[in-house]
Amino acid sequence: MMDSLYVAWHYISFYKIRTLILVACITLIGGLPLMLELILDESEQQLRSRALSTPLILGAKGSALDLVMNTLYYTDAVPEMITLSAAREVADTDLAQPIHLYARFKARGFPIVGTTIDYFEFRDFQLAHGRPFVMLGECVIGHELARKLGLGVGDTIVSSPETVFDLAGIYPLKMNIVGMLTKTHSPDDRAVFVDIKTAWVIQGLGHGHEDVARIKDQSVIISRDEKTVTANAKLFQYTEITSDNVDSFHFHGDQANYPITAVIVVSNDTKSGTLLRGRYVDNKNYQIFPPKEIIDDLLESIFRIKAIIDTVIVIVGFATLLAIIFIFSLSLRMRRQEMQTIFKLGSQRLTMVYLVGAEIAIILIFSGVVIVGLLGMVSVYVPEIARTVVLN
Amino acid sequence: MINIQSLDFRYPGSDFHLSINNFTIAAGEKVAVIGPSGSGKTTLLNLIAGIIAPRAGSIHVGEAQVDQLNDSQRRSFRITNIGFVFQDFELLEYLSVLDNILHPYRISKALKLDQSVRQRAVQLAKQMSISDKLKRSVGKLSQGERQRVAICRAMLTNPDLILADEATGNLDPNNKAHILELLFKSVEDNQATLLAVTHDHELLPNFDRVIDFQTFYGDRAS
């Protein structure tokens, strides 16, 4: 048998391209469904675990899927905005604790999540380094973001403008990193957490500037009376919040009308949750639901697509299998002279079977190794792949 | 060494007919077979080697009656007792020179590949002046070198009988004489019997005996 393997090995290594084509075909048939299964399992696990740990979501009427995906996974599709008053309304019912979220902005491609410190408790965040945010302009970063950008406590991260060419739009805000989370294996690993007010500062709803009452450059002042000083656009606005200028930051108007993307509603008990949902049944502005319902629908769609993909793979696999059999039979035809020589030399019939069998075995083993290697590689990156493919 | 009596052979579906009443070669003899194309020279070699079986008659090679052996026995007999040098060399492109020489040992359980066999392969390659090319692919050898590899392969099992089917047919005149010289030396060193089919009449004086198919087997119809 060793001699058959030796001869077979020389044959397949001599005809490298033919061998590579066969290995690629077998890898495709064997590896693709397994890799797909791995990615879908991971996606399902990611989607379900996050949805199950979030009892209710309240948001604007509209796409429930966008609302769930943005609230749970901080995806790019931002749902219709609601105001902070929605969270206060929930709190006023005494049936649940609201945790508001504002997941709209990005910093170097990673989502900025404006929330309160209650969210840390709700998600059971553990800090690997530093402390939670307490001051305007401070942030806590996820583990993966820290690793990818090489950032840590004491560094800063700048928010990205929504549109590069919008001069009148949102200015970048330099935020101080005061904490870093331990790995959570969830979208939180890739997020920048800030106080909701910091998110509003990023949006321009809150700002800090020189004290107009003490300003020396009079060209900045448009008008001045006993109660009000009006300045023009020349007035310097701070793009970084420091302990020196933090007191100058302020918000105009009622914060109850400031935007948020969603409210996570942590009901006191099941009955409270049911009662609360009942109160919003006829509400024209808001919708409230358990995210599990939406995720179950989404998974159903994904698995329906998977069933189609599986069918396609089976058909392609069958066609590839036929191609492999065709290649092998063609190869045997082309090797008739060689087989004749072996026969003339005095080889037994079984030896020829061993030779061809050894070639098939080596190619199958080689393909198996490639499949295992690919699966190993995919399994390392599967959380990221699942997030990229399914969640985006 | 070889004794053929009342042999009758026909290819199925062909009007080719080989009939031999009496054909004998003594051990150690170097015999050339000549004759026009299609006269049955290669068929005779194949019958002696047990590659094909006769319809009637007997073929004795040494102690064995080849025509009485079954297919499996004929294969074992061939690989252990007969060295075959083919006209087109029939080497395997994907194997090195050494692996081609050792190939009979890799395809038969009747032969055991050990260190002594490897040493003998190297020794034969030295005798054939190809020892410096043992690791080279046969695809990179000249015609003459390829034929030497084929002779080494045929000689490796120390066969009692060497069958050579136009072993020098593809070679230039200089190479022909040299290869034949090497083949003869190898046969003598191994005290083997040589039966060679050839078209080269200038090589015939080197043989102990020449059999012309047309002259001696006139009763054969073809």
pLDDT higher for B219 or A226? A226
Residue at which a domain ends, from A237, A270, A289: A289
Which domain covers residue A315, as residue numbers? 2-46+299-391
State the residue for tokens 């052996």: B69
- What is the nearest CA distance from B64 to chain A, expressed in angstroms? 16
pLDDT mean across residues, chain A: 88
Assess whether A137 and A256 both reside in one domain: yes
| Residue pLDDT, tens place only, A260-305 | 999 999 999 989 999 999 999 889 899 999 999 999 998 888 888 8
For residue A227, tell me if it sits in a domain.
no
Assess whether A82 and A152 both reside in one domain: yes
DSSP A152: -
Q: What is the ipTM score, two decimals?
A: 0.86
Assess whether A181 and A285 both reside in one domain: yes
Assess whether A261 and A174 both reside in one domain: yes
- What is the nearest CA distance from B2 to chain A, expressed in angstroms? 19
Q: Cβ contacts (< 8 Å) between A6 and chain B: which residues?
A: 106
DSSP-based three-state secondary structure for B58: strand
Assess whether A34 and A80 both reside in one domain: no
For residue A129, tell me if it sits in a domain.
yes
Assess whether A337 and A282 both reside in one domain: no
| Residue pLDDT, tens place only, A326-346 | 888 887 888 888 888 888 888
Assess whether A144 and A200 both reside in one domain: yes
Q: Do A348 and B76 touch (CB under 8 A)?
A: yes
Confidence of residue A245 (pLDDT cuts 50, 70, 90): confident
Residue at which a domain ends, from A241, A267, A289: A289
**What pLDDT is stored for residue A1 in this prediction?**
66
| Residue pLDDT, tens place only, A172-215 | 889 999 999 999 888 899 999 999 999 998 888 888 877 777 77
**What pLDDT is stored for residue B221 in this prediction?**
37
For residue B154, tell me if it sits in a domain.
yes
For residue B221, tell me if it sits in a domain.
no
Please say if the pLDDT value at position B218 is more than 60: no
For residue A228, tell me if it sits in a domain.
no
For residue A173, tell me if it sits in a domain.
yes
Which domain covers residue B36, as residue numbers? 2-216
| Residue pLDDT, tens place only, A7-33 | 999 999 999 998 998 899 888 888 888
Task: Spell out the residues 6+ positions from residue A110 whose beta carbon is closer than 8 angstroms to its own.
Answer: A142, A145, A149, A190, A191, A192
CB B195 within 8 A of CB B164: yes
**What pLDDT is stored for residue A392 in this prediction?**
57
Where does chain B have alpha helices with state H?
Answer: 41-49, 71-81, 97-106, 115-127, 143-155, 173-189, 213-216
Please say if the pLDDT value at position B217 is more than 80: no
CB A7 within 8 A of CB B106: yes
Q: Which residue of B has its CA nearest to A6?
A: B106
Assess whether A26 and A133 both reside in one domain: no
Assess whether A112 and A143 both reside in one domain: yes
Please say if the pLDDT value at position A164 is more than 70: no
DSSP-based three-state secondary structure for A204: coil
CB A295 within 8 A of CB A67: no
| Bridge partners, residue B197, by sequence | B33, B165
Q: Cβ contacts (< 8 Å) between B159 and chain A: which residues?
A: none
Assess whether A371 and A276 both reside in one domain: no
Please say if the pLDDT value at position B160 is more than 80: yes
| Residue pLDDT, tens place only, B37-47 | 888 889 999 99
For residue A229, tell me if it sits in a domain.
no
CATH code for the domain of B161: 3.40.50.300
For residue A359, tell me if it sits in a domain.
yes
Mean pLDDT of B116-128: 92
Mean pLDDT of A377-384: 87
Query: How many domains does chain A contain in total?
Result: 2
